[in-house]
Amino acid sequence: MERSTLIWGLVLIVGFPLLSVALGEAIERLQRHGNPLIHFFGNFRRWTLPPLAILLVMREILGFKESDIALRVIETLFWFAAVYTSISLLNVVLTTKKKQYFWQIHVPNLLFQFARTVIIVGIGAYVLGDVWKVDLSSVLTALGVGSLVIALALQDTLSNLVSGFLLIFESPLKLGDWIRFQELEGEVIEINWRAVRLKTQDKDIVIIPNGVLGKETIYNYTMLDPLHAERIQVAFSYNDPPNRVKGVLRSAVLSTKGIVTEPGPEIGIKAYGDFSINYEVRFYIKDFIDLETSRYEVMSRIYYVAKRNNLTMPYPVSIQYDGNVKDIQPKDHQQEILEFLRTVPYFISLEREVINTLAQNATVEYYGADEKIVEAREFDTGFYIIIDGSVLLSVTDIHNQEQEIARLSKGDFFGEMVLLRGEPSVASVTVIDDLKAIAIEPDTVFSLAQKNPKFSLEMNQFVEERRKAARLARGTKNLSNQDTPYNGKARHPLIHQLRDGSN
């Protein structure tokens, strides 16, 4: 007996202080690394270790008996501290969010709450039965007598609880999934013992009881494949050939940000209507949360692309006529183009006949915000003069970052590289505000520069300024090979090419 007391005395005098010091060092190291286990070790040192030491002193050294109230109180306090410490460890090891450490275990919120309940109920039953000598069998018998009444009273709650466990084990959905339930679509943000919480596209929270969810069909948009197909319908005139319409629609969809290129969009004829041919466009997105934004962007992009390609979106109209059917022609932009070209400073020196020729070979085109009209290192398709709106000129620097060169607005132009045949654009052109621009054919502008030296000199100055701005934005001091394709004629590349072309 004395030997046992001596051993326990050494453990308490030497072992517990050493354990406390070791825990302090561990806590300091974990704190430096920001490790969440610091909460467990801190709670163990602060709350569990002291009552454990007191309990051992009272039981092993002072010889308190199991029936002593003081011993029971201290032991109860110890087990309460053990519950608190165990739950702090559980909170770190089990996570309902994304894992931050390899040793963490991701579990649904329902299982997380169940594990905490098991710890509390288990230790609570031990304290009542073993420490305070409560006859739990009589308590269970009493509960058994009243179980039928409890079950009837809580049948909805129990149904939700059981359905919650079935949802977890079957795993038809998990946190972050986008699902459709009846007419509701939303992201799963929580699964608990009673209900599933969804967050809709409108940022509303919808709470669906597990019992109700378990009885209905659930559409999971992101479970096995993050790709999601979206369909929109649009109508065009019978005068527009279907294959041409399909090509225009395909280019509109592929030019929209966020649309997956593989698999690509699918366009087909849905029906032949009374006034139009109805087309269905199917495209794919990766993130379901971007569904509505992508749909709106595609619809907007289709409008601008269709307008540029002179496709007609008909609608039913009531027309009164006197028996002679006449075609209704769209508004002629030639007069508008002619009047605007006469106000452009770099066209002032041109004769009226020359401006008339330019207007006859020009069209008015419309572009929506964020559309990329010109891609750097690709060839310009026309010479553009801005009537309304604005665009951004940019290049990619040596660090693969997009750098701004300039912002152009009403009266400015871009696409000047059509004057240097065989040389691609030095910058990308992206629409900032909805753009209305005059587009002149490349051959017409090139011919104009050949016949008008003053105009060619002015264009040459613009070309050199934009080349210089592009080089500075890219972070390159010297001319690259792409900038010197004329064997030492880079000082006036436009003049030399026009002379070479005239010869």
What are the C-alpha distances in Å from 49 to residues 28, 42, 44, 221?
18, 10, 6, 50
Are residue 116 and residue 25 in the same domain, yes or no? Answer: yes
Residue 407 near residue 335 (C-beta atoms within 8 A):
no
Residue 140, domain member (yes or no): no
Instruction: Tell whether 323 is covered by a domain.
Output: no
Same domain, 301 and 194: no
Domain count, the chain: 4
What are the φ/ψ torsions at residue 489 (nearest 5 degrees)?
A: -105, 25
Residues 241 and 203 in one domain: no
In this structure, what CATH number is given to the domain that contains residue 252?
3.30.70.100
The domain boundary residue, chosen from 103, 134, 165: 134
Claim to verify: residue 276 and residue 382 sit in the same structural domain: no
Q: Are 161 and 119 contained in the same domain? A: no
Instruction: Tell me the C-alpha distance between 258 and 291, whole Å.
Output: 10
Whether residues 92 and 180 share a domain: the answer is: no
Question: 182 and 130 in one domain?
Answer: no
Residues 6+ apart with CB under 8 A from 267: 245, 246, 249, 250, 279, 280, 281, 282
Instruction: Tell me, yes or no, whether 316 lies in a domain.
Output: no
Residue 321 located in a structural domain: no
Residues 62, 258: Cα–Cα separation, whole Å: 74
Task: Examine the domain organization and report whether 385 and 433 are in the same domain.
Answer: yes
Boundaries of domain holding 76: 2-134
Q: Alpha helix (H) ranges present in 44-127?
A: 49-56, 69-93, 109-126
In a domain, 325, yes or no: no
Q: Are residues 168 and 295 in the same domain?
A: no
Residue 204 placed within a domain: yes
Average pLDDT along the chain, 503 residues, taken 10 residues at a time: 76 88 90 89 92 90 87 93 93 84 81 86 90 79 57 59 70 86 90 86 90 85 87 93 93 91 93 92 91 92 90 65 40 78 84 87 89 90 92 91 92 90 89 92 87 84 88 69 40 51 48
Domain contains 74: yes
361 with 495, same domain: the answer is yes
**Digit-coded pLDDT (tens) for 435-494:** 999 999 888 888 888 888 888 888 888 888 888 999 998 886 544 444 443 333 444 455
Does residue 236 share a domain with residue 206?
no
Residues 479 and 350 in one domain: yes
Q: Which of 185, 220, 255 is the last residue of a domain?
A: 220
CATH number at residue 183: 2.30.30.60
482 part of a folded domain: yes
